[in-house]
Every structure is written in structure tokens, then in C-alpha cells.
Amino acid sequence: MMRNFITTQDWSRSELQDILDHASSLKAKPFQPLLQNKSVAMLFFNPSLRTKTSFEVGISELSGTAVILQPGKDAWSIEFKDKLVMDGEAEEHVKEVAEVLSSYCDCIAIRAFPKFIDWELDRTDHVIKSFAKYSSVPVVNMETIEHPCQELAHLLTLQEHFGSLEGKEYLLTWTYHPKPLNTAVANSSLLIASKFGMNVTLLCPSESYHLDKRYLDAANENCSNESASFNISYDVAEAYSGKEIVYAKSWGSLENYGDADEQSKQNNQYKNFIVDEQKMELTNSAVFSHCLPLRRNVKATDGVMDSDYCLAVAEAANRKHVQKSILSKIL
């Protein structure tokens, strides 16, 4: 049966662990012909450094072929609305794009950030969902409103460090950035930490920075299923106290979604949320990580980033291994 990899919520904990275990074996033996004579069409609607490089290199290491496209730049712009008179800028409809790429390639991978205009539209994840609707080959999420490849790399890195993650005290903290950013990594970190039995705390400046109710509810349900806890805090010292894992991400408030100027003004009130050595001293000798890219001394200090407990680079390196595992499992 064909399976997409769009959200980890569609996969059981045991299935995800199987992907992680396979990633570890591929890390030990990277060059295997598991994708020989297979190709992956990778569509980048947004910039990428780690995602593009890790996918392209990983596919090559498995003897596959990566085809990289940038719609609107080196490929035609695409329309996603159905039953529309296409007299605007888009040159072709996603239906034909997905069907044609399906006839050429064995997988379609999508990187498409939200537009930051209308959250009610963006939360539907309509770009990747449209490809999944019309594609006859598996579709993989390279970051939309979730970032499932990043969350598996995050989890693999934590398992390499700790072994079992059952009952670990996990903090997802909002951190400062002058611009409103995508909630994808924050959404995904809640999903994966809660699914693997950690006690999860979400730290944000105020209720206006709550993530979408879909992800809060999923984290609550996942934690309940694993006999773990999920809490939301607005108290920095209380939230950091006793934590074993600190994961930082900045995102724009949904309250002011679509108003970049207002969101920036709002963010500027909370520069004190930077991850620094003083906050990390409140923890139970916690490790720190971030998905990258990270603005040093804005999101986290040099001292934190250069510390022995920072796993950000190791997590980025593990992107290649988990993505190779995902592709070899679904193709």
C-alpha cells in the first residue's frame, strides 16, 4: 500500500521507531543501492540549505536520482485552487503537475511554507495536500506547517544521547526573533516528544503565542496515551527548572497572523526569552538543540551554541540518515 510521509501523526510510534532504527543502520553503512533506478522530484517553494543538501546527498548515497525544481523560478508557477479561471500568474494547475511528475518519478517531495496571510487557509496545508490528492506516487513533507523529517532527526539525536526517552522532562521554548516565523518545527516537536513518552512543557510569552489548537490537542492526547504529562507555562524560571531537554524555536503569534509589523512589535517585547547560560543552569544538566538556522545572540547565546550540551549540529547531520530511511521505507 502506498503511504505518504506528511505528518508523523499518521504513523504509529512503533512504525516511527522502525524508521529511526533503520536510520541508525544507514548511518553505520551509508552507501546502499536501496533507491537504485528510482527518482525523487523535490519541489522547493522556499529556500533551503540543510533540507536540500541532505536529501540530495542522501538520495545519491542510496543510488537514486534527485530532481530539484523551484516553481516560479526554474519551473512554471502553479495554481492550487480548483475550478478556477486561470487568468492570473500561475501557468499550470497542480493536478497536471502532480500527474506528470508521478509519471516521471517514484516520489514527490514538497517544501512549501505558509503564506503568512490567512491562517485558516494555511492551516489546511493545501499545497502538499493538493499534491497528495493528485499524485499516484508517495508524497514527502520537506516542511510545510509541519516538519516531520526534522522531528525524526531531533528524536534520533536524543535517542543517541539518552537511550530511552520515557519520562524525560522536555521543554519546547519560544525564543526571540525579530520576524514572525513559521510554526512548523514547533508543531512537529510537540507531536514527536509527546508521542515518545516525554513529559512535555510548552513555554511561550503569553496565550497569544499558543500553537494551533490541533497541535495542543494532539500533544495532550499523545501524552495521555503514553502516561506522560503536557503543560503550558509562561514562567521562564519555572519552565526551565529540572528539564533534561531544551528545544528552542521562534514563531509568530497566531493572534496577529498576517500582520508582520504588529507581530515584530509583539516579538520585540520578549527578547529576554533568548536561551542563555543562566537559563540552562536552572535545568537538570539539560541538552539544548535547535533546528537551524539560528541567529546567534538573538535566539541563543554563543555560550549555549558552543557548549558541549548543544546538539544542534548533530541533529542537522541526522537529517540525512532519517530521510534516507523514510525514502527507503516508502519506495
Per-residue pLDDT of the chain (331 residues; tens, 9 = 90+): 899 999 999 999 999 999 999 999 999 999 999 999 999 999 999 999 999 999 999 999 999 999 999 999 999 999 999 999 999 999 999 999 999 999 999 999 999 999 999 999 999 999 999 999 999 999 999 999 999 999 999 999 999 999 999 999 999 999 999 998 999 999 999 999 999 999 999 999 999 999 999 999 999 999 999 999 999 999 999 999 999 999 999 999 998 999 999 999 999 999 999 999 999 999 999 999 999 999 999 999 999 999 999 999 999 999 999 999 999 999 9
- Residues present in the chain in total: 331
Is the domain of 154 the same as that of 247? yes
d(CA 142, CA 43): 9
The answer to whether the CB of 220 falls within 8 A of the CB of 200 is no
Three cell numbers written together for 282: 536552572
d(CA 150, CA 252): 19
Is the domain of 170 the same as that of 307? yes
Q: Is residue 287 part of a domain?
A: yes
Q: Is residue 247 part of a domain?
A: yes
**CATH code where residue 239 lies:** 3.40.50.1370
d(CA 123, CA 102): 25
Q: Is residue 261 part of a domain?
A: yes
Is the domain of 26 the same as that of 49? yes
The answer to whether the CB of 152 falls within 8 A of the CB of 221 is no
Within 8 A by CB and 6+ apart from 178, the residues are 264, 267, 268, 298
Is the domain of 166 the same as that of 133? no
Domain that holds residue 114: 8-146+322-330
User: How much is the pTM?
Assistant: 0.97
| Cα Rg of the chain, angstroms | 20
Is the domain of 186 the same as that of 111? no
The total of structural domains in the chain comes to 2
d(CA 206, CA 266): 11
d(CA 27, CA 19): 12
d(CA 94, CA 92): 7
